[in-house]
């Protein structure tokens, strides 16, 4: 993921008024970003962002 994409997703999670589902999706995408380092297993990410499961993104 590009730096610009990552910043945009971070803004979604921290600023403005957005739906809970949009914020959750942004958090999942940020957690799955391999350019930021090693990615945790999907079950761990799902628990962190408050989702039951993460399907293919």
pTM score, two decimals? 0.76
Question: How much is the pLDDT for 44?
Answer: 84
Reading the block at residue 38, the tokens are: 């090693």
Note down pLDDT in tens along the chain; length 57 residues: 899 999 999 999 999 899 988 998 899 889 888 887 888 888 888 888 877 666 655
Question: How much is the pLDDT for 8?
Answer: 95
Question: How much is the pLDDT for 55?
Answer: 65
Question: How much is the pLDDT for 18?
Answer: 93
Rounded Cα gap, residues 26 and 12, in angstroms: 7
The secondary structure of 11-35, three-state, reads: HHHHCCCCCHHHHHHHHHHHHCCHH
Count CB neighbours of 26 within 10 A.
Answer: 19
């Amino acid at each position: 993921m590009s730096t610009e994409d990552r910043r945009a997703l971070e803004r979604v999670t921290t600023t403005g008024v957005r739906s809970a589902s949009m914020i959750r999706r942004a958090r999942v995408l940020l957690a799955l970003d391999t350019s930021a380092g090693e990615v945790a297993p999907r079950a761990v990410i799902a628990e962190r962002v408050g989702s039951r499961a993460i399907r293919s993104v």
